[in-house]
């Protein structure tokens, strides 16, 4: 277990996954370690298993620190989003946004906007795009998000042009 935790904390998720899978077969892992397993699946691009493990224990994680919970909610929301399961993703993005750090909210608001765009709720998406943009501007726009900002501005302008 110690090596699995070291790998996990060192962001060597595939290595941690292999060890945690084996431990999960032999022992009854507690919810935190099952959450680790779900996160490892997420980073290993196995979104179906990430959802399976995180959904199973997500309600048992409310005793953890809020930001740790936010990581698990986010990985679950992203796993659903990537599978185009927007209805399933939305509640976990919403839970994430309530407990994540303020400088992380822009990305989550953007993902919520994309969920609503894909569900064809353009009014709601517009509001989330505006909120996302406000957070990006407030906390500074990272270089790797410049294209996203252009996209958000285009989506907002397109919405305004239609209304």
pLDDT at 29: 86
Q: What is the DSSP letter of 27?
A: S
CB neighbours of residue 33 within 10 Å: 19
Print the SS3 string covering 41-105: HHHCCCHHHHHHHHHHHHHHCCCCCHHHHHHHHHHHHHHHHHCCCHHHHHHHHHHHHHHCCHHHH
* pLDDT of res. 163: 79
What pLDDT is stored for residue 8 in this prediction?
87
**Eight-class DSSP state of 143:** G
This model's pTM is above 0.75: yes
Cβ proximity of 91 and 73 under 8 Å: no
pLDDT the model gives residue 50: 97
- pLDDT averaged over every residue in the chain: 94
The segments of the chain whose pLDDT lies below 70 read none
């Amino acid at each position: 277990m110690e090596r699995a935790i070291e790998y996990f904390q060192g962001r060597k998720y595939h290595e941690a996954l292999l060890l945690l899978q084996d431990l999960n077969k032999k022992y009854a892992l507690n919810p935190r370690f099952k959450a680790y397993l779900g996160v490892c699946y997420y980073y290993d691009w196995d979104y179906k298993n990430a959802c399976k493990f995180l959904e199973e224990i997500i309600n048992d994680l409310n005793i953890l620190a809020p930001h740790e919970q936010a990581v698990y909610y986010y990985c679950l929301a992203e796993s659903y989003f990537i599978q185009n399961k927007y209805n399933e993703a939305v509640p976990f993005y919403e839970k994430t946004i309530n407990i994540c750090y303020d400088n992380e909210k822009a990305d989550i608001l953007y993902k919520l906007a994309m969920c609503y765009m894909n569900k064809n709720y353009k009014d709601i998406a517009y509001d989330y795009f505006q909120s996302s943009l406000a957070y990006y501007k407030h906390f500074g726009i990272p270089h790797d998000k410049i294209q996203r900002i252009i996209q958000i501005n285009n989506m907002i302008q397109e919405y305004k042009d239609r209304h």
